[in-house]
Structure 1
Amino acid sequence: MNNRQDLLILGGGLVGMTLALAAARKGISSHVVDRADPADLTAEGFDGRASAISTASWNLFTNIGLAPRLEPHGSPIASIAVTDQMKPGEIDFTPEDNEGTLGRMFANRELRLALFEAASEEPLINWHAKANVVSRQRGEHGVSAILESGEELTASLMIAAEGRGSPTRDEAGITFAKWDYSHRAIIAGLTHERSHEQVAWEIFYPAGPFALLPMLDLPDGTHRSALVWTVDEKDAAGTLKLSDRAFLAEVEKRMGTMFGEITSVGPRSSYPLGFHHTAKITDQRLALIGDAAHGIHPIAGQGLNLGLRDVGALVDVLADGMRIGLDPGDAQLLARYERWRGLDSFMVALATDGLTRLFGIPGKTASAVRRLGMAGVQRVPVLKDWFMDEARGVSGDLPELLKA
């Protein structure tokens, strides 16, 4: 039986599944193939893995019908505080009262639950979970993938959404610039005595940023934050092996008593930090989205949001083309997507890389210069507004799906 769909999305994570849902809202059908077991990805418990959802990304979730499912689980980001080693010279990004928040924080588990629930109810999505792709084909008239089970899936356009190690991208021979920061991000969930007051903290140390991200309080009133702590690669294994008491002592050295006593720490995990950016994001009947196309440092919390901008742009392009009778894999449509997303994602990637290097310069003089610069930004409203618009994701040429 020929079960051909418009899209063949390889990778059903946060970006890939959002693409499938956004496409379905425009009447575009898809196969979604992912190796993972959804039950593992949505297991109970908070391990600190969380994502900052910008204003523009929240507009996308609203426009595809996810907001009612997600709203009860998100913590607003009322302001962002940026400081160099907790010394004077802090920047406080707080919007005016009528401008709303700077975004929302969600546990990744809650995002997945909402996406998976919506996908399971969507007739235009054929979801193939716990499935391995053993071969891929792209030709003049369509694309296909054969699963380990022997099933063949066909479509008009293939989407690589498998993340940083995308085999689809590599098989297509798409080259990319890449380097390793020789650091790891350690992630954990914290509970603490005082409220975070919906403030996201970015505390810069020479070894890397130390971020405290506001999570929703538990029903019993327990205050929670997600910790993303960047450490040198050589120190990561030892830091992960620390007892809870020793780990919390190290955390408190870096954040002081702003949240009162840290009462508990959840399971710790880590991942290596690196940069990559592909030379192009399309090929014959192929489009790259999310980390398959660009992997950036989490310093500004923009990784997922960058992928969601890809989603919005690609769906806009495909829907416009299909409305006038073009095939989803048409080269003209892919060229438009390339032009739209190639430069924007590259500029964001360069900016985060520059920030990483700037705040990683050790020494008192470098710290003093950074703090002087931050104090200058704090005093210039137009600069602060520009940074806040960037954090919200509302600058530049926005896809329709990312607009309110």
Structure 2
Amino acid sequence: MAIERDSGARIVIAGGGIAGLTLALALKQALGRAFAITLADPTLAAPPRADNRAYAVAAGARSMLETLGVWDAVAGSAQAMTEMIVSDSRTNDVVRPVFLTFDGEVEPGQPFAHMVENGALVAELKAACEREGVELRATGVRRFTAEEAAVEVVLGDSSRVQATLLVAADGARSKLREQAGIGWVGWGYGQSGIVATIGHERPHHGRAVEHFLPSGPFAILPLADGGRFGHRSSIVWTERTENVPALLSLDAADLLAEIETRFGLELGEIALESAVSAHRLGFGVARRFVGERFALLGDAAHLIHPIAGQGLNLGLKDVAALAEAIVDAARLGLDPGSLDVLEDYEKARRFDTVAMGAVTDGLNRLFSNDATPIRLARDFGLGVVDRLPGLKRFFIREAAGVAGAPPRLLRGEAL
């Protein structure tokens, strides 16, 4: 079978989620006709489906989406986080004392995050890729062979493409990572994240709440107004995996009662606004992020607990760092698929990834423990942090993705 070739060079991205689409868009905008950008994912042909997922898009990631020209299209349905509060209690406690509060601004007038629904963001990224001339192919990557000068990619429709670089953005169970012989270090938590959209009577005023309960955190994340009561929030309910089948088999009224026990009554009557789904939680990191003409991106490179809401933002940091490395190399006349260029990307991302993974792993183990001495110690620690505004500002800037010297896209600078 003939191999597709271009007069210029080609980069293939496997995976049509947020990370893969954002990388494709960033590369096409910066490199133009010099590089063909192909994004391959069999789900590209599937009709839109109901999606109950929503993400906290940090300030740095939002700046990148603004620079790429997609934020304006989703801003109207995004919800700024104006405040975050943290409580620690048992499920049936009548009073849930607040131990820690965060102001929602990383800079005056700049929220540290916005809640954005997955479906809206994916749809706009896909439309922007189409406008810019990214080749969207509704098929997966079956296998690849990396050589010194190029990588030959075999797609699911049996066509063959010769590329400068293959980027695997195909999720935590990446088949391409396995084919590349890259190991994975990880473990499960025995927990699942139950996700749903909840309608409620009273406005949330942009406040995010995280209740630490014995089985894990229960997060209430503000969404844009709408739904039955006019106000909505997304929940991420961490529960022991062994309990999840029984919970999801409850009828709607009983399941809502279980949610209400954890959600509380502050926002008035509640209702389910979406289907309820559960996803097993774990930690994982690839032993390497790059190989011969091959790079891992997003969940294919790392998986963390959602306790801090940083999974998507880690992936978008990968996008910013990899796009910058590729574009800078191409403009200097260097080979953007060479191992030297890819290792620069790995160096830029590995420490931050491992550090965030360690933090979220430690927080989950600490706060999913109901032993009284540990509860007293962690509540004391939260109280100390709450009284140190400088430390809280440091945490906010780290979570917002603007601390240190982030890649240019995260600073709102075009490549």
> TM-score w.r.t. structure 1 length?
0.95
Question: Residue 104 of structure 1 aligns with which residue?
Answer: 114
> What letter matches 1:101 in structure 2?
P
- Structure 2 residue aligned with 1:170, among 156, 178, 191? 178
Matched residue SS, 1:22: helix
Question: Residue 81 of structure 1 aligns with which residue?
Answer: 85
Percent identity between the aligned chains? 36
- Structure 2 residue aligned with 1:17, among 12, 16, 21? 21
Question: Residue 327 of structure 1 aligns with which residue?
Answer: 335
- What is the Cα deviation at residue 292 of structure 1? 0.4
Shift of the 195–22 alpha-carbon distance from structure 1 to 2, 3 Å rule, reads same
Shift of the 99–308 alpha-carbon distance from structure 1 to 2, 3 Å rule, reads same
Residues 1:50 and 2:54 are matched in the alignment: yes
Question: Residue 26 of structure 1 aligns with which residue?
Answer: 30
> Is the 1:89–1:375 contact (alpha carbons within 8 Å) kept by the matching residues of 2?
no
Q: Deviations over 1:144-199 (max 9, x none)?
A: 21223221122101101001011111111111211010111111111010111101
Distance 1:163 1:74 in 2: 25
Shift of the 102–59 alpha-carbon distance from structure 1 to 2, 3 Å rule, reads same
Comparing 279-288 with 27-36, which one deviates more in the overlay?
A: 27-36
Residues 1:7 and 2:48 are matched in the alignment: no
Question: Residue 146 of structure 2 aligns with which residue?
Answer: 138
- Structure 2 residue aligned with 1:264, among 263, 272, 275? 272
Distance 1:174 1:134 in 2: 17
> TM-score w.r.t. structure 2 length?
0.92
Distance 2:389 2:220 in 1: 25
Matched residue SS, 1:338: helix
Question: Residue 121 of structure 1 aligns with which residue?
Answer: 131
Distance 2:227 2:97 in 1: 36
- What is the Cα deviation at residue 330 of structure 1? 1.5
Structure 1 segments of 4+ aligned residues over 3 angstroms from their partners? 37-40
> What letter matches 2:165 in structure 1?
L
Question: Residue 304 of structure 2 aligns with which residue?
Answer: 296
Structure 2 spans left out of the alignment, 5+ residues: 90-94
Distance 1:234 1:98 in 2: 44
- Structure 1 residue aligned with 2:396, among 388, 391, 395? 388
> Is the 1:296–1:349 contact (alpha carbons within 8 Å) kept by the matching residues of 2?
yes
Distance 1:148 1:168 in 2: 13
- Matched pairs, number: 399
Aligned-residue CA RMSD in angstroms?
A: 1.6
Counting only pairs closer than 5 Å after superposition, residues 149-298 of structure 1 correspond to structure 2 as 149-218=157-226, 222-298=230-306
> Is the 1:159–1:288 contact (alpha carbons within 8 Å) kept by the matching residues of 2?
yes
Distance 1:350 1:81 in 2: 22
> Is the 1:23–1:29 contact (alpha carbons within 8 Å) kept by the matching residues of 2?
no
> What letter matches 2:219 in structure 1?
A
> What letter matches 1:55 in structure 2?
A
Shift of the 258–38 alpha-carbon distance from structure 1 to 2, 3 Å rule, reads farther
- What is the Cα deviation at residue 364 of structure 1? 2.7
- What is the Cα deviation at residue 320 of structure 1? 1.1
Distance 1:78 1:70 in 2: 18
> Is the 2:227–2:273 contact (alpha carbons within 8 Å) kept by the matching residues of 1?
no
Question: Residue 92 of structure 1 aligns with which residue?
Answer: 101
Distance 1:242 1:19 in 2: 41
> Is the 1:184–1:230 contact (alpha carbons within 8 Å) kept by the matching residues of 2?
yes
> What letter matches 1:399 in structure 2?
P
Q: Deviations over 1:202-247 (max 9, x none)?
A: 1111101101111101288710111110110110111111112111
- What is the Cα deviation at residue 126 of structure 1? 1.0
Question: Residue 65 of structure 1 aligns with which residue?
Answer: 69
> Is the 1:48–1:227 contact (alpha carbons within 8 Å) kept by the matching residues of 2?
no
> Is the 1:193–1:263 contact (alpha carbons within 8 Å) kept by the matching residues of 2?
no
Matched residue SS, 1:26: helix
> What letter matches 2:281 in structure 1?
L
> Is the 1:89–1:374 contact (alpha carbons within 8 Å) kept by the matching residues of 2?
no
- What is the Cα deviation at residue 29 of structure 1? 3.2
Q: Deviations over 1:270-316 (max 9, x none)?
A: 11001101111011111111000000001111001000000000111
